[in-house]
Amino acid sequence: MEERVTNAPDTDRSPDASSFSSVTPYYDSLMSSVPYQMWVGYYLLLLSQQDVHPKTILDVCCGTGTMCEMLQEEGFEMTGLDLSPGMIAEAKRKAIAKDSPIDYWCMDASAFELNRRFDAALSFYDSLNNITQPHRLQMALKRVAEHLQPGGSFIFDLNTAFAFEQHMFDQQSLKPEAPLRYKWVGDWDPATRLITVHMKFWHMGQEFEETHVQRAYDEETVREMLKIAGFENIEAYHSYTLDPPRNKSDRIHYAALRAS
């Protein structure tokens, strides 16, 4: 095992709510090629594998609410939370425009309290990798468990260290005619298991920057953290399949049930 989370020296730091800020107005157009509809289909497949049939679902780190909207259209009652005020503002703006009855909350996944329980929760698009302190990820898993009914489902994905080694974040779109140009470079440190992604954007003659930091959590650690948080029936998949993770999985989907 590459790390023992429970023994890791881990000084508490507040999460950086500013890490998804300047990019917020452009987030949906940057993600226009992301196959969210396929992700919804995969999510429904994993729920059926768990034999869980939710009515209410919580999206943890919901961003601008795209998954919430799509799942709400599938007939689920959706609630989303995210740390970034800009992402939540955009999600709310879209919900009002579409007259979608989705509840959105600006909250830290590691410390939220909604005073209710859901039948299921999800967190997609490597959102939980952004919680870089292991004890804070452990807190987030506990918060999710405490917001689920006994037997409730939690399904989420995480980027792997392999993805970071393969420079997954090194991306650019610099065509002069593109309305938004960008260049991202990831700086992976295998010693800390952190990747720091330096992002530069150019839009209408203006330049802005963001820095995102993600941590790679290995499968054994995640399984242990899920158990500590009160989950059971833990499954891990090579993303978008029902196969187990491979050495070269760049993303792993986890599916677990809140212990009864």
Residues engaged in binding ligand SAM (CB under 6 A): 15, 20, 61-63, 66-67, 82-84, 87, 108-110, 124-125, 127, 130-131
Whose Cβ is closer to ligand SAM: residue 87's or residue 102's?
87
Question: CB of 151 within 8 A of CB of 52?
Answer: yes
87: part of which helix (H) or strand (E)?
Answer: helix 85-97
To the nearest whole angstrom, how small is the minimum distance from the Cβ of residue 122 to ligand SAM?
9
To the nearest whole angstrom, how small is the minimum distance from the Cβ of residue 159 to ligand SAM?
10
Cβ neighbours, 10 Å, residue 235: 16
Whose Cβ is closer to ligand SAM: residue 25's or residue 151's?
25
Whose Cβ is closer to ligand SAM: residue 58's or residue 62's?
62
Nearest to 257 by CA among 236, 223, 234: 234
To the nearest whole angstrom, how small is the minimum distance from the Cβ of residue 144 to ligand SAM?
11
Question: CB of 162 within 8 A of CB of 248?
Answer: yes
Residue 69 sits at φ, ψ, to 5 deg, of -60, -45
Total count of residues recorded for the chain? 260
Taking CB atoms, the residue at the shortest distance from ligand SAM is 63
Whose Cβ is closer to ligand SAM: residue 125's or residue 217's?
125
To the nearest whole angstrom, how small is the minimum distance from the Cβ of residue 255 to ligand SAM?
17
Question: CB of 54 within 8 A of CB of 77?
Answer: no
